[in-house]
Amino acid sequence: MRARKIKDRIYWMGSVDWDRRLFDALIPLPDGTSYNAYLIEGSEKTVLLDSVDSPMADELLAQLEGVSKIDYVISHHAEQDHSGTIPQILEKYPEARLISTPKAKGLLMDLLPIPEESFITVKDGETLSLGDKTLKFIHAPWVHWPETMVTYLEEDRILFSCDFFGSHIAATDLFVTDEGRVCEAAKRYYAEIMMPFRKVIGKNLEKLASYDIEMIAPSHGQIFQRPALIIDAYREWTLGPVRNTVVLPYVSMHASTKQMVDYLVSSLVEKGVGVEQFNLGVTDIGKLAMALVDAATIVIGTPTILAGPHPYAAYGAMVHSWQMPFVPKQNFFP
Ligand code: FEO
């Protein structure tokens, strides 16, 4: 796909990945995804925000063919679905400097062949003038790794949020058209990778509350022209109360555990408690993760194999513990 104009001298670039069905060899992507990069041409400087997953490098490089100069590349997040093509970009534009948080600099140098002299690190709240446009860098840790930041384009009131507020959707519509579909995909995305850091994410939401945001341009999925849609949804997911419902993942080999599940579900329903049950032999773990966003209780049902839980139940429990909310320790890395 060619570059697409968002506003005056602001362009979407990147790749729509219609075929991808699994992320991190773990997370189901029923609707594909996109890797969004953005180009901003100021009156004096031109900047590229993020890149694309390296298998999509040719697409981004083709979109940049008519761009003679890039002064800065901004890396919001070191994960390779956004940083993977940065080495090729720096090769094409050797004069460009790479802007990141100090923590991202270390990660990027560990993950990719980028020389230290390419970097400029920015403090929280620091600004960069492109001439008639001004970028403000806002450190926003844990959306989704500890090094992440977002960028606010002051004159156009656009927040470039990278993974934050993103959703795994492949679409030709640049902007959100079906709010229900996007909210469901965004909730799945939040549940799968961000829920463990919900307290920190709540702080990041508070940090953004004072900004006048006209548009949110994430690095996955579509652009929000009504930012309140996704900001309010995140408030509910991170700060809202949980519901008195039970999530019940289970495995049953000969229908015995299933009988216990049925008995428990009936009893809970009689007491007015809702249940979402998931047969771990066939379930989509993204759906299971979404159910965990709102539920107060988890019960896992499993038979025993070799004196331990069924491997699917052990796997489900590990995924649960990984997705359950906790306050991350400093230096923890997922
Ligand atoms: Fe889309 Fe955490 O990378």
DSSP for 38-54 reads EEEE-SS-EEEE----G
Closest CA to 295 of 257, 236, 234, 242: 242
Q: What is the pLDDT of residues 165-187, one digit of tens each?
A: 999 999 999 999 999 999 999 99
Q: Lowest-confidence range among 113-117, 179-183, 193-197, 222-226?
A: 193-197
| Predicted pLDDT of residue 25 | 84
Contact predicate 105/117, CB 8 Å: no
Does the pLDDT of residue 330 top 60, yes or no?
A: no
pTM exceeds 0.85, yes or no: yes
Q: Look at residue 317 in the predicted model and tell me its pLDDT.
A: 85
Ligand 1 atom closest to the CA of 219, numbered from 1? 1
- Over residues 325-333, the mean pLDDT reads 35
Report the range of poorest mean pLDDT among 68-77, 270-279, 319-328.
319-328
Tell me if 300 sits within 8 A of 313, measured CB to CB.
Answer: yes
What pLDDT is attached to residue 27?
84
Q: Which two tokens stand for residue 232?
A: 């309010």
CA angle 201, 204, 210 (to 5 degrees): 145
pLDDT exceeds 80 at position 301: yes
Residue 3 has pLDDT above 50, yes or no: yes
Average pLDDT rounded to a whole number, residues 72-98: 98
**pLDDT at residue 10 tops 90:** yes
Give the three-class secondary structure for 262: helix
Closest protein CA for atom 1 of ligand 1? 163
For the chain, which domains are there?
4-239 (3.60.15.10), 243-322 (3.40.50.360)
**Average pLDDT over the chain, rounded to an integer:** 94
Q: Which atom of ligand 1 is nearest to the CA of 148?
A: 2
Whole-number Cα distances in Å, 220 to 69, 96, 169, 217, 306: 25, 24, 7, 9, 42
Distance 144 CA to ligand 1 centre (A): 6
Q: Specify the ligand 1 atom closest to the Cα of 163.
A: 1
Percentage with pLDDT > 70 across the chain: 96
Q: What is the spatial distance between Cα 14 and Cα 1, in angstroms, rounded to a whole number?
A: 8
Phi, psi for 255 (deg, rounded to 5)? 70, 5
Q: Counting atoms of ligand 1 from 1, which one is nearest the CA of 220?
A: 1
110 has a pLDDT exceeding 80: yes
Instruction: Give bridge partners of residue 27 from the DSSP assignment.
Output: 23
CA of 72 to the centre of ligand 1 (A): 21
What are the pocket residues of ligand 1 if the criterion is a CB atom closer than 6 Å to any ligand atom?
77, 79, 81-82, 144, 163, 219-220
Residue 320 has pLDDT above 80, yes or no: no
pLDDT in tens, 240-267: 899 999 999 999 999 999 999 999 999 9
Report helix, strand or coil for 8: coil
pLDDT score, position 324: 55
CA atoms of 220 and 23, how far apart (whole Å): 12
pLDDT (mean) for 6-28:
93
Distance from the alpha carbon of residue 154 to the mean position of ligand 1, in angstroms: 24
Backbone φ and ψ for 52, nearest 5 degrees, come out as -135, 165
Residue 325 has pLDDT above 60, yes or no: no
- Banded model confidence at residue 321, pLDDT cuts 50, 70, 90: low
Handedness of CA 3, 217, 224, 292 (dihedral sign): positive
- pLDDT mean over 122-143: 98
* Pick from 99-103, 230-234, 236-240: least confident: 236-240
Segment 121-145 mean pLDDT: 97
Task: Tell whether the model's pLDDT for residue 334 goes beyond 90.
Answer: no
Write down the pLDDT at residue 76. 98
| Whether the Cβ atoms of residue 166 and residue 201 lie closer than 8 Å to each other | no
Cβ atoms of 186 and 223 within 8 Å: the answer is: no
Closest residue by CA, ligand 1 atom 3: 79
- The whole-number pLDDT of residue 208 equals 98
pLDDT of residue 70: 98
Predicted confidence at residue 190, as pLDDT, reads: 96
Q: Where are the beta strands (DSSP E) in the chain?
A: 4-7, 10-17, 22-23, 27-28, 33-41, 46-49, 72-74, 97-100, 119-121, 127-129, 134-139, 149-153, 158-162, 215-218, 243-250, 274-279, 295-298, 304-305, 308-309
